[in-house]
Amino acid sequence: MEADYVIVGAGSAGCAMAYRLGEAGKSVLVIEHGGTDAGPFIQMPAALSYPMNMARYDWGYMSEPEPHLEDRKLVCPRGKVIGGSSSINGMVYVRGHAMDFDHWRDSGAEGWSYADVLPYFRRMETWHDGGHGGDTYWRGKDGPLHVSRGPRANPLFQAFVEAGKQAGYEATDDYNGRQQEGFGPMEQTVHNGRRWSAANAYLRPALKRENVEITRAFAQRVVIENGRAVGVAVKRGNKTEVIHARCEVILAASSINSPKLLMLSGIGPAAHLNEHGIEVIADRPGVGGNLQDHLEVYMQMAASQPVTLYRYWNLVWKGIIGAQWLFSKRGMGASNQFESAAFIRSRAGVAYPDIQYHFLPIAVRYDGKAAAEGHGFQAHVGPMRSKSRGRVSLRSDDPADNPKILFNYMSHPEDWEEWRRCIRLTREIFAQDAFKPFVKHEIQPGADVQTDDEIDAFVREHAESAYHPCGTCKMGSKDDVDAVVDAQGRVIGVEGLRVADSSIFPRITNGNLNAPSIMVGEKMADHVLGKDPLAASNDEPWVHPDWETKQR
């Protein structure tokens, strides 16, 4: 088996690359270990808590005991299925803030400023504003990825935005447009009532071409001869074989599996590879380092009125909603229920938002366990730019062994200060008049959690990953010893090998990572093809005029 381009991983970036390379007439072979994404658990937006917790669709990774979070092991779901994590995620669509990408450029990723990436965000999306206003000029009109908004019919969605305005924050019609900062509608990768994953958007259309195919196999390492990647060793059943790449091998296997594959192939920190008896082909200390993620907690309120989704939280209603969705792709099943959002700055002197909110009109956990108290609602909240850094490393030289993942969450003292501000600012929002008709009392953290020490203890015990790992194959300049790939995704020190997924992010972006991961696939495809990048945009994003002196 061979192709011009062999892509490892049919996830967010890999599907986008397969589509664009196939469109350009190249022969493409995608290797994916996971199976089909057919079936209602993945395709029905409201069922999002199921696939994330099913071994069939998830690699099932856990962190090592996290030393600053009471040695808890946190779950780190990664999609093992067609569409990758875009088939098991919460479907929230956030591009990131303009200044995130300017920071990428400033840290050595030449050509990845906001002006450079905005045209790719436009190219990849078809935006449905649903008649709710928003920023048409900044958005895409004919891309493969459909982005929509939920109906926001529940009064709590409006209460959340009103409370934000009453607390003195901005409102924004479109956080993916000119102005991210503020309270407004949340966007989702849902189209015609179905999860619009990278598989639905990119891979299915790509596979209709004769020059694009997918094979189900477990990638074990990149085969490198004379300093050049020539293929990928895979296991299929009990047999190991090599799939050959005539032009290039492209790793798009996630921020956990891409560095793992590089290290198994002899590319990584030399001492670590030697430990495991792996021959060093390129000593790149940054492989697996720079690991970042978003932590979040659920701030939960008990509701004084039965307006929340709790009334549907029983088998009868779940059956009715499921049946309605199966037959019409409409109703409650057709939304992820994250329909209002906010991005705010935690203090004066912070130039752009560093706290994100997902608002949900039920008090429930990601694993589908409802709050004990019945009717309630919650905001998922957490800081966006933690200074803590972790590492992905090998457990052994056996590709079948899961890697070691240590996020090292909360290892930087500033993280604790950010979290305290986060909890207190959120309480202030829930205390506004707009919530007066709906709030009974605070379930979590609970009104008795007030001092710095009490808040710290709550975070230590309850903070969870928002499932946004990235950064482990950092993109940067060739003279940056910690960079793994250059600004075109080429692995430094090896020919014919690229990485294109969230592992190349120099720093984590504001919000959920699916949109920037797909953008990376779109833009890297142009680099692979040797095309001139899309013309840079001259549009000026909004920054709070008084950010230096005011928090809101």
Buried b (16+ CB within 10 A) or exposed e, 281-296: bbebebbbbbbbbbbb
* DSSP code string of 436-490: TTTEEEEEETTTT--SHHHHHHHHHHH-EE-S--B-TT-B--TT-TT--B-TTSB
Evaluated on CA atoms 409, 411, 412, 417, the torsion sign reads positive
The residues annotated with a catalytic role in the active site are: 468
What gap in Å lies between CA 184 and CA 194, rounded to an integer? 23
What gap in Å lies between CA 162 and CA 33, rounded to an integer? 46
3-state class of 234 per DSSP?
A: strand
89 known member of a binding site = yes
249 known member of a binding site = no
9 known member of a binding site = no
190 known member of a binding site = no
* Closest among 103, 113, 77, 104 to 469, alpha carbons compared: 77
91 known member of a binding site = yes
Query: In a 10 Å sphere around its CB, with 0-12 CB exposed, 13-18 middle and 19+ buried, how is residue 278 labelled?
Result: buried
439 and 304 Cβ atoms separated by less than 8 Å: yes
* DSSP code string of 261-319: HHHHTTEE-HHHHHHTTPPPSEE-TTTT-SBB--EEEEEEEEESSS-SGGGG-SHHHHH
3-state class of 327 per DSSP?
A: helix
Give the annotated binding-site residues for FAD. Answer: 81, 89-92
Q: Which residues are annotated as a binding site?
A: 81, 89-92
